[in-house]
Amino acid sequence: MSNRLKVAPNDLSAFWMPFTANRQFKQAPRMFVASKDMHYTTSDGRKVLDGTAGLWCVNAGHCRPKITEAIQAQAAELDYAPAFQMGHPAVFELSNRLVDVAPAGMEHVFYTNSGSESVETALKMAIAYHRAKGDGARTRLIGRERGYHGVNFGGISVGGIVNNRKMFGSLLTGVDHLPHTHLPEKNAFTRGEPEHGAELANELERIVALHDASTIAAVIVEPVAGSTGVLIPPKGYLQKLREICTKHGILLIFDEVITGFGRLGTPFAADYFGVQPDIITTAKGVTNGVIPMGAVFATKQIHDAFMTGPEHLIEFFHGYTYSGNPIACAAALGTLDTYKEEGLLTRGAELAPYWEDALHSLKGEPHVIDIRNIGLIGAIELAPIAGQPTKRAFSAFLKAYERGALIRTTGDIIALSPPLIITKGQINELIDHIREVLRMID
């Protein structure tokens, strides 16, 4: 660790922090200066157990040697290659390796720098696909209430988190939303997939009837909604969505930015639920969160629809300066090596029963009104303080941090998604911290 990093700067005002209570933070900053495997080190020298894999991205744990070395070697060899009209070996190798681990049928990869950009790419790809096939009236996009698809205009338009939308004007036109599937009165304290709510997928039929199928390009959903507080799909729900989309020629996009790369104990959520989407968006775990990168997977059918016309012409007018950046590709290759060597894309399945029991042992603790889990994801929903929503969960976050555990809160929900290398002992430690915190807070 360099000395430079250990010294906290004395003026924090210039940095406008993302999705952060800036004024609160700057009064009592929480700084990490190092990380290794399951832990961070704070600027005051304490170890903090990572209960959230960073922001749902550090699936293999922190500062893993294969990834660090791959980045170092690539940076010294080929630092950048133009993304348009030029290539480099790592991006082709990575694409083949990604297609190998992706669900069957996903044969092509398009690169971005984040989940938000993956979503924009997928939405544009879907609309352009229909147009390339001569079906240019299919421009409407269907998202879902409480969905999170990043922060760019397309993503917040199909997204359904009110605070992320209401400040930003009229958004995209031609967007509609399915109802969310959160039914606490019927499904509270369910272990795994809830029994009730599959019929909510039939709302898609109502939306199709309203707009006519011939105007709808795609439906985008998170197979498991993460950011909004861990909403697990009711049994049969995703299968129904797939059936209705297929029946009407509508593309189904799974936003797997969180669920991709082992989070549910299968490589992707599409594998877990046995449902094949047409497009999958990913980011985060593709590079273990270490270098920004996103990857959008598409079927051969979608890709091939673009591959027409004179061969010297660009087929898809879309891409980023850093699409397939060499250093990001090296990080992704190092990440895939680590996942493979340690079996991390399926390790969650072995740990899930233990994780489930540990989480549900919090039932009956103060403030807890629901507990949800799937794979290595967990959520503990707290009753809000009357008139002060989010305050109770935020207190829990601060207290947990003081005690040595990083948790994530959204609204009054504690969301957990530890690195996939977590041990049973560390699961106990994390849950014990939360138990103590729940007993401490108001």
Distance in Å, CB of 155 to ligand PLP, minimum? 15
DSSP string computed for 87-127: --HHHHHHHHHHHHHSPTTEEEEEEESSHHHHHHHHHHHHH
Shorter beta-carbon distance to ligand PLP: residue 190 or 281: 281
Distance in Å, CB of 256 to ligand PXG, minimum? 7
DSSP string computed for 230-271: -BPPPTTHHHHHHHHHHHHT-EEEEE-TTTTTTTTSSSSHHH
> Which of 111, 129, 148, 272 contacts ligand PXG by CB under 6 A?
148
x/- binding map, residues 170-209, to ligand PXG, per CB under 6 A? ----------------------------------------
Distance in Å, CB of 295 to ligand PLP, minimum? 16
Shorter beta-carbon distance to ligand PLP: residue 21 or 314: 314
Distance CA 345, CA 339 (A): 6
Sign of CA dihedral 22, 27, 33, 36: negative
Q: Name the binder of 408 from ligand PXG, ligand PLP, none, CB < 5-8 A by kind.
A: ligand PXG
Shorter beta-carbon distance to ligand PXG: residue 103 or 115: 115
x/- binding map, residues 102-121, to ligand PXG, per CB under 6 A? ------------xxx--x--
Q: Name the binder of 438 from ligand PLP, ligand PXG, none, CB < 5-8 A by kind.
A: none
- Strands 251-255 and 216-221 turn out to be parallel
Shorter beta-carbon distance to ligand PLP: residue 80 or 189: 80
Q: Name the binder of 332 from ligand PXG, ligand PLP, none, CB < 5-8 A by kind.
A: none
Distance in Å, CB of 312 to ligand PXG, minimum? 34
Q: Name the binder of 103 from ligand PLP, ligand PXG, none, CB < 5-8 A by kind.
A: none
Distance CA 41, CA 72 (A): 23
Radius of gyration of the CA atoms of the chain, in A: 22
HSE, side-chain direction, 13 A CA sphere, residue 27: 3
Residues 83 and 91 sit within 8 Å (Cβ to Cβ) = no
Give the footprint of ligand PLP on this chain (CB under 6 A): 320-322
Distance in Å, CB of 154 to ligand PXG, minimum? 11
Residue type, 227: S
Residues 382 and 416 sit within 8 Å (Cβ to Cβ) = no
Distance in Å, CB of 196 to ligand PLP, minimum? 43
Strands ordered across the beta sheet of 279-282: 106-112, 294-299, 279-282, 251-255, 216-221, 140-144, 175-178
Q: Which residues bind ligand PXG (CB under 6 A)?
A: 55-56, 114-116, 119, 148-150, 222, 226-227, 255, 257-258, 283, 408, 410
